[in-house]
Structure 1
Amino acid sequence: MAAETDDVSVIRHVIERLARSRPDLDSRLVRRSVETAYDEFRNARVRTYLPILMERRAKDLLPHAEDR
């Protein structure tokens, strides 16, 4: 149960960081990309790098400025 609570905190933190770095994007899109990234890493045995891995993956899922 503690891991779930920690994960919720990590997800929230990553969403906030990405939203600040990409204010041009809809916050729902940012949230969905982070949630998708979390789903991909949810069962990782080593949790130490979960935040950075999630953030990098979520960034990959977001559209780039030149894509729009």
Structure 2
Amino acid sequence: MAESEEDASTIRLVAERLMKAHPQVDVDVVRGSVQTAFEELRYARVRTYLPVLMERRARDLLPAEGPAEFDG
């Protein structure tokens, strides 16, 4: 299914926000996580919160920042 102009704009805006928030992450990785988030949510009937949900999901898909700490 082709993306509408509105969907393409939403994907672009979410990717730009995440690239600013996570400059250490490769641009292609950010774009891929946003695209994956969109694919998972593209059939949502209520689209009002789609950008927020996409951003949250894409952020979850990004690699962790720095090494994980162990509280052993």
Both proteins in one fold, TM over 0.5 = yes
2:39: which partner in 1? 39
Q: Counterparts of 1:65 and 1:43 in 2: how far apart (Å)?
A: 30
In angstroms, what is the RMSD of aligned CA positions?
A: 1.4
Shift >6 Å, 4+ stretches: none
**Could you tell me which amino acid in structure 2 is paired with residue 39 of structure 1?**
E
2:51: which partner in 1? 51
**Unaligned ranges ≥5, structure 1:** none
**Unaligned ranges ≥5, structure 2:** none
Q: For each residue in 1:9-31, what CA deviation from the matched residue of structure 2 results, as whole angstroms up to 9, or x when unmatched?
A: 00000000000000000000000
Q: Counterparts of 2:67 and 2:31 in 1: how far apart (Å)?
A: 19
Q: Counterparts of 1:28 and 1:67 in 2: how far apart (Å)?
A: 21
Matched residue SS, 1:48 = coil
Q: Counterparts of 1:67 and 1:58 in 2: how far apart (Å)?
A: 20
Task: Give the paired residue count.
Answer: 66
Q: Counterparts of 2:58 and 2:66 in 1: how far apart (Å)?
A: 17
Displacement of 1:65: 1.0
1:19: which partner in 2? 19
Whichever of the two has the greater Rg, that structure is 2
Q: TM-score if structure 1 supplies the norm length?
A: 0.91
